Amino acid sequence: MSDIVLDVRNLRVDFPTRRGILTAVDDVSLTIRKGEILGMVGESGAGKSMTGMAILGLLEPPGRIAAGSIHLSGDRIDQLSDREMQDVRGRRIGAIFQDPLTSLNPLFRVGDQLVETIRLHTDLTRAQARERAKALMREVGIPAVEERIDNYPHQFSGGMRQRIVIALALCAEPELIVADEPTTALDVSIQAQITALLKRLCRERGTAVMLVTHDMGVIAETADRVAVMYAGRLAEVGRVEDVVQRPRHPYTVGLMGSIPSLRSDAEELQMIPGAMPRLDAIPPGCAFNPRCAHAGPKCRQDVPRIDGPGAACWLAMEGATA
Amino acid sequence: MTAILEVDALERRFDVSAPWLNRVIERKPRRTLRAVDGVDFTIERGQTLALVGESGCGKSTIARLVTGLHSPSGGSITFHGDRDRMQMIFQDPYASLNPRWRVGRIVAEPLRTLRPDTPDSMVSARVDELLRTVGLSPSDASKFPHEFSGGQRQRISIARALAGEPEFLVCDEPTSALDVSVQAQVLNLMKRLQREMGLSYLFISHDLSVVRHMADVIAVMYLGRIVEIQPTADLFANPLHPYTRLLLETIPDLEAPKRDRAPMGGEVPSPVSPPSGCSFHPRCPLAFDRCKAERPLRRAEVHDRRVACFACEEKAHV
């Protein structure tokens, strides 16, 4: 099928350390189609950001892709050199990170940063690029563009800065945008503005988006499909309304239950006992089995895996754990 | 019911002027930031009052004023209890525990400070008991903070806060650094302790769904002022202030996500130069001339002092 923009197959990311190899991402397979928003959700250390970084080619050494493949619109990108990857980033993949201040150079006017990025990836002249920069700033909803284009990043508020970062990511009309916690540093009323903007732009341009966040609320309102990660592995993948309303993996069920709901008046919140295992202490079998109320003998021996929609749970896959 | 904390016309100003030389050379005026600008509320014994609002609205400054970490610039704070029995839980469990101290020493610190003549055997028995109360094991006393996860560290902070047998706890965003499944564990623990020990909480958060679960009364803050204060159920059933409605609007509903909503425009203005009159008027869909000129107050004849808004006043009079 030609409308698959991102195709990740059996991706594994390893971190060699003195005490042995830690596997931060373990056998993850995903696809994102044109114009589709895939939400990647999980708790800190679940491997969701690491998956995004691997796709961007920005893994910090000693972290490395140890197995699997990443294809962007049919082209394999996980084996490119740093130089080639630099060209893919920006031109074909845009990136949006949590903290807009670190994504912008504080010493340059935002307009110049936009113009430079546009000229790097297109053949436009300086004057044309400046017009394009203004159009982009208008598109992401920055008021008084004529004056604001010559401001420095510190003269913008957090929400406005994140709009500039989105404009930067869109400069070269990329096929894919990886957005890692794009709204986490922002206030709630601004968060809604930014997610709505991201969603509108991607719909209009047909850009595929990988939206990495810990916030199930953002996913529920923004994503089309969702991948839930736990301890470096995929726990559940599916359409967002299925996963949110009818979760099948016991971890997803627990995760949903622990979010304080506006509808329930229960005195106690549902909780999952214990905590996610550290990467150096992942139990054999299903990584969730020590915290799972339904775990059987098979769960303690064999790792359940999925490479498409479904729940990586022996109970869900085979209907029994006996 | 009796009040444990009464706050009246509380103000705190910070001097954010440029340095003296710049003021002289560049003729810059002195500038003051009114972080807390005329706030009043009462907390009843055994209850939880929550302060909610976005960053920069002054909620953490109030926590610091109440615990005495800042002194007020105006107004009063009256605590009807034993000053030694007020404790605080901080947001960041990584910064609020001394990394060089063992957990046992951290938890024992309030005891050793407040009751220095307690014998060692009683201190360690009490530490064991406290660790068990918060769901840790007595053997954890000999470990260092780095050996624990974020949620466990927040449990240690709670155990430390409980060591002085407090009656009143100030909790400044106690779960916002935690993952949701761990947040649920900590919130459940805090509710259980409140039931068992009759604690009163001043609970500060930006997350309305957490606050709805925890609080008896909610005060919504905007740029240093309380714009609305109501019992939790009333606030969610009948929000009065347009800003409260905006905040409620932004809570994602997992069961029925609002996927095509049009978010409200505008941003929180700088607290150094807040808008005139009602500071929310530039973003308010109901604003009229009076809102730009005059500051609305919470008045007894308008919804029983629950809201500071001229639009609500007009409606109440019609």
Beta sheet of A225-230, edge-to-edge order: A93-96, A176-180, A208-213, A37-41, A225-230, A233-239, A310-311
Identify the weakest region by mean pLDDT among A172-176, B153-157, B179-183.
B179-183
Answer whether A244 touches B (CB < 8 Å).
Answer: yes
A192, A215, A269: residue with CB nearest B187: A269
> Which is more confidently placed, B262 or B186?
B186
- Taking a C-beta distance cutoff of 8 angstroms, is the pair A6, A55 a contact? yes
pLDDT band at A40 (very low <50, low <70, confident <90, very high): very high
Nearest residue of B to residue A244, measured between CA atoms: B254
| pLDDT at B318 (0 to 100) | 56
ipTM over 0.90: no
- Cα(A260)–Cα(B204) distance, integer angstroms: 16
Grade residue B156 by pLDDT with cuts at 50, 70 and 90: very high
pLDDT at B224 over 60: yes
Residues 143-162 of B with CB under 8 A from A: 149-152
- From the list B251, B258, B262, the residue facing A262 with the nearest CB is B251
Chain A residues with CB-CB distance to B247 below 8 A: 188-189
Q: Testing the interface with B: which of A269, A270, A272 to mutate, by most B Cβ within 10 A?
A: A269
pLDDT digits (tens, 9 = 90+) for B76-134: 999 998 888 999 998 888 889 999 999 999 999 999 999 899 999 999 999 999 998 88
Report the percentage of chain A scoring pLDDT > 90. Answer: 53
Q: What is the dihedral sign for C-alpha B160, B162, B166, B170?
A: positive
Q: Which residue of A has its CA nearest to B237?
A: A262
Q: Is the dihedral of CA B206, B208, B214, B218 positive or negative?
A: positive
A196 vs B261: CB contact, 8 Å cut-off? yes
Would you call A220 and B151 a contact, using CB atoms and an 8 Å cutoff?
no
Residues in A 245-264 with any Cβ partner in B closer than 8 A? 245, 254-263
Distance in Å, alpha carbon of B267 to nearest chain A alpha carbon: 7
Chain-chain contact of B182 with A275 (C-beta, under 8 angstroms): yes
Across the interface, do B252 and A245 touch by the CB < 8 Å criterion? no
The beta-carbon neighbor of A157 closest among B150, B261, B267 is B267
Query: How many angstroms separate the CA atoms of B155 and B174, rounded?
Result: 10
Q: Is 90 exceeded by the pLDDT of residue A265?
A: no
CA A41 to CA A30: how far, in whole Å?
13
A217 touches chain B (CB under 8 A): yes
For residues A107-119, give the mean pLDDT: 93
Residue of A nearest to B150 (CA): A275
Q: Sheet of A4-17: strands edge to edge?
A: A20-33, A4-17, A64-72, A75-76
pLDDT greater at residue A27 or residue B301 = A27
Partner residue opposite A269 with nearest CB, options B152, B184, B254: B184
Q: What is the band of B38 on the pLDDT scale with cuts at 50, 70, 90?
A: very high
Residue A221 token pair: 């309102």
Region of poorest pLDDT, from B10-14, B29-33, B230-234, B291-295: B29-33
Model pLDDT, residue A321: 45
Please give the residue of chain A at the shortest CA–CA distance from B243.
A189
* pLDDT value of residue B261: 65
Which long-range contacts (C-beta less than 8 Å, at least 24 apart) are formed by A158-163?
A158/A100, A158/A185, A158/A186, A158/A187, A158/A190, A159/A186, A159/A187, A159/A190, A159/A193, A159/A194, A159/B267, A160/B267, A161/A100, A161/A101, A161/A104, A162/A96, A162/A100, A162/A186, A162/A190, A162/A194, A163/A137, A163/A194, A163/A197
Q: Residue range B248-257: average pLDDT?
A: 79
Q: Does A94 touch chain B (CB under 8 A)?
A: no
Question: Mean pLDDT in chain B?
Answer: 89
Cross-chain Cβ contact A188/B55 below 8 Å: no
C-alpha pair distances (Å), A230 with each of A236, A261, B44:
9, 22, 42
What does the alpha-carbon distance between residue A49 and residue A214 come to, in Å, rounded to a whole number? Answer: 10
Q: List, as ranges, residues 68-107 from B with C-beta within 8 Å of A.
A: none
Q: What is the mean pLDDT of chain A?
A: 89
Concatenating the DSSP letter of every residue in A69-90 gives: EEEETTEE-TT--HHHHHHHHH
Does the pLDDT at position A43 exceed 50?
yes
Alpha-carbon distance B168 to A151, whole Å?
Answer: 47
Chain A contact for B189 (CB, 8 A cutoff): no
The correct CATH number of A4-92+172-318 out of 2.40.160.40, 3.40.50.300, 3.90.1150.10, 3.40.50.2300 is 3.40.50.300
- Give the per-residue pLDDT at B317: 66
Nearest C-alpha in A relative to B211:
A260
Strand-pair category, B48-52 with B32-44: unpaired
- At residue B217, the pLDDT reads 96
Tell me the angle at which helices A188-205 and A158-170 cross, rounded to the nearest 10 degrees. Answer: 10
Give the per-residue pLDDT at A180: 92
CB of A155 less than 8 A from some CB of B: no
Give the pLDDT band (50/70/90) at residue A155.
Answer: confident
CA distance linking residue B47 with residue B40, whole number of Å = 17
Contact B80, B7 (CB under 8 A): no
Token pair for A27: 């056998």
Mean pLDDT of A299-315: 90
pLDDT band at A322 (very low <50, low <70, confident <90, very high): very low
Q: Which residue of chain B is at minimal alpha-carbon distance from A267?
A: B213
